[in-house]
Chains A and B, each alone.
Chain A
Amino acid sequence: MKIPRFSRKTLCIPYAVFLIFFVIVPMLVIVFYAFTDKSMHISFDNFIRFFSDPTKLSTIVYSLVIALITTVVCLLIAYPVAYILARSTLKKKYVILMLFVLPMWINFVLRVNAIRELFNLLSTLKGLEWLASANYFKTVFGMVYDFLPFMILPLYTTMLKIDRSLYEASADLGASGVTTFLRVTVPLSMPGIMSGITMVFLPSMTNYVVSDMLGNAKVTIIGKFIYEYFGSDWHMGSMVALVLLIVVFVSTWFSGGFKSEENVRGTNL
């Protein structure tokens, strides 16, 4: 009788099953739904409808712009913080780092609600009335607040790994502080920048909870769209999801996210 051998490969089976049933099959289902009509016949109707509808296209553009602004603002705030923390010799720097990451441990809905209430309160003040209708501003603010830790952490860990002697070598070779920053620090923290962008850009295109709660339901992003369609029209919903998937794929491709292993990991934590 042949005794089945237990090898390390056997350990992969649970994940393989998960992968098949929760990643590959749903993906195929989405593709199937996207290119069929209500009577389950193959059709490009959804495709044509999507790309001929200006509201849908503008939603995609709006989503991209919101995500882009969020990412840039996050990067601008997070980079100096990570840089200073990583290079400081402070013994208690992890406390400061924790303060930045701490919001992650508080329920997301609660945080967004708190921001909404804060804005409501502020907009009653004289001179700040404009806040009540600044839906896009509030959405981006909420996104930045929400995703900032996801930008700081990968940046910080990557910068921590940069050998200090490289900064010394750069100065030794005659580079000024600015030159060292541009030619040593930035290139070497690129993996962190890339994973930070991936961690912020993609979720902020789809996180409609923020846009709903802070944008007075006036800001529609692509994620909201998908959610709504899956209430009535699965076929169109699948098409939007597929378009989003392609947008994400292409943008990751251009940012070089598939090149090295480190970036594919999404985060360097």
Chain B
Amino acid sequence: MAEHIIELQDVTKYYDDNLVIDHVSFYVNRGEFITFLGPSGCGKTTTLRMIAGFDLPTSGKILLHGEDISRLPPNKRPVNTVFQRYALFPHLNVYENIAFGLKCKRVLNTYQNEKGATYQKKERLSKKEIGEKVQKALALVDLEGFEKRSISTLSGGQQQRVAIARAIVNEPEILLLDEPLGALDLKMRKEMQLELKEMHRRLGITFIYVTHDQEEALTMSDTIVVMSDGMVQQIGTPTKIYNEPANTFVADFIGESNIMNGTVVGNRKVKFCGKTFDCLDDFELNEPVDVVVRPEDIQMCAPEDGTLVGEVISVVFKGIHYEITAQVGKYELVINSTESREVGKSIGMKIAPDGIHLMKPKYTTNVFDGVITKHNAVRFAEGEFQCDVTQLYPGSHLDDEEYLITAEGEKIDLTDVEVKVEVGLHDIEISDDADAGGTTGRIISIIYKGDHYRLIVRTEKEEEDFVFATDDLWNENDLVSVIIPPEKIKLTLKHTEEKKR
């Protein structure tokens, strides 16, 4: 079994009042090339900074070889970082930059005195030792002869190499790389990817890499940690993450995907796009699922041979393959194929069982904590919504003064009573008009599900999410108001059951 060199245990981090890391736990094996992958703001850089020691976790532990280092300052940790914008010292030349860490280092040397007893002394590295190490590091990054150059005369790629040399010269146990190739052009980036991979192989130390570029992550990593919203979405090898995404976020973020709603209709049979398919995943009968099909897993055939029949509505040449979009009923499917098809032509499509991935829908309903304000309104997610409070007490009704009278005739004042609010995925509408709904928020995610879009609207202050389906296309980051019909708001009393969120 591989040794866990570093382990995060239930780490949570708040910046001021913003939750940026939400109960993250995972481990890294010694010698592994692990990548934190996710969109910007997902918490990947913060996680790296906590491992480096620049940020301290609000709660939780970071273990190095099983020892808690969460409170240790950066200079006491056996890790080194390659910074996003290199952070090379502008007042030092290439040699001095690389030697910086070595000059800070104290090594324990063992000596023998005249009586033969051994004693240890903490000493600085000698000039000669430092020189040799710097030369070795320079050779590793192909920058021999650059010792005397000033940092400002180097190109971006060369600065990048100096930054790597400056970190690895200290022989860290873990090398942290924070989007190190972000500032380089495409060709240079590809070259550096291979070089870093080769460096990892030669040095044999653990690399923790942060990127938002899924291709980079797939190319370089042994293990990928997909993150979003401060949470780990999936941990696995690149193949596993690509072929068996854990949820629709991962499927959507890594590579291209067709994501549709489906229903399990039998033993390893799923129905979507109006047809039944064989699949490999086992779910309960009649369970609603998200179906993910990679564009290259759809095979085109003659219309009469296909499980699905559709019409080609666009063809885009992508170099190695064509990206063909087909309309199947009200669904749009994307197909990657080396063959082209004419627009307007009818085609058949087949999907092999191993090309169909089923996953539990992440969202089946929206749940909020609410407080009854007036007799027929509930406050939650920064807004106030009309609702029907009589549902809280079966058989109750409102009297003339709008007080609730229970079936037993008891009069209850519901003001300030805490309730659990539930709203279905299909019971929410949004509008451009900020005053039209009970609350407002920004659209933070749009996932196309073949025949509709799944949106997430997040309120701005309390960051409550509304998840729902809509047929209309909206833009991400739009400010919209949320409309919920009163009869669709399901209320339950809080004190009678456990808080769910």
Contacts and interface: CB of A to CB of B under 8 A. Distances in A.
Given A163-B87, A188-B90, A188-B91, A172 B104 contact: no
A173 to B, nearest CB: 4
A82 to B, nearest CB: 18
Contact of A169 (B53, B73, B79, B89): B89
Given A168-B83, A169-B81, A175 B89 contact: no
Nearest to A164: B87
B151 to A, nearest CB: 11
A179 to B, nearest CB: 6
A176 interface: yes
Interface in B74-101: 74-75, 79-81, 83-85, 87-91, 100-101
A247 interface: no
Given A163-B87, A166-B89, A188-B91, A171 B105 contact: no
A165 B53 contact: no
A205 B84 CA distance: 47
B100 A173 contact: yes
B363 interface: no
A266 B457 CA distance: 54
A171 B74 contact: yes
A190 B79 CA distance: 30
Given A187-B91, A188-B91, A173 B80 contact: yes
Given A169-B81, A170-B100, A171-B53, A176 B87 contact: no
A4 interface: no
Interface in A146-199: 163, 165-166, 168-176, 179, 183-184, 187-188, 190
A63 to B, nearest CB: 33
B54 A173 contact: no
Given A165-B85, A179-B104, A172 B91 contact: no
Given A168-B74, A179-B104, A173 B87 contact: no
Contacts of A176: 75, 104
B73 A171 contact: yes
B8 interface: no
A175 B101 CA distance: 7
Contacts of B170: 173-174
Nearest to B100: A173
A198 to B, nearest CB: 20
Given A165-B85, A179-B104, A172 B90 contact: no
A166 B89 CA distance: 7
Which residue, B53, B81, B170, has most C-beta atoms of chain A within 10 A? B81
A206 to B, nearest CB: 33
B453 to A, nearest CB: 39
A175 B170 CA distance: 12
B89 A172 contact: no
Contact of B80 (A163, A165, A172, A175): A172
A163 B281 CA distance: 52
Contacts of B13: none
A169 B82 CA distance: 9
A64 B166 CA distance: 44
A168 B82 CA distance: 11
Contacts of B75: 171-176
Interface string B95-126: 00000110011000000000000000000000
A190 B91 CA distance: 10
A184 B85 CA distance: 17
A84 B81 CA distance: 26
A179 B105 CA distance: 11
Given A168-B54, A168-B74, A173 B85 contact: no
28 contacts: A163-B87, A165-B85, A166-B87, A166-B89, A168-B54, A168-B81, A168-B87, A169-B87, A169-B88, A170-B89, A171-B53, A171-B73, A171-B75, A172-B54, A172-B74, A172-B80, A173-B80, A173-B100, A173-B101, A173-B104, A174-B75, A174-B101, A175-B75, A175-B104, A176-B75, A176-B104, A188-B89, A190-B91
Interface of B: 52-54, 73-75, 79-81, 83-85, 87-91, 100-101, 104-105, 166-167, 170
9 interchain residue pairs of minimum CB distance: A173-B101, A165-B87, A174-B104, A169-B87, A171-B74, A187-B91, A175-B104, A172-B81, A171-B75
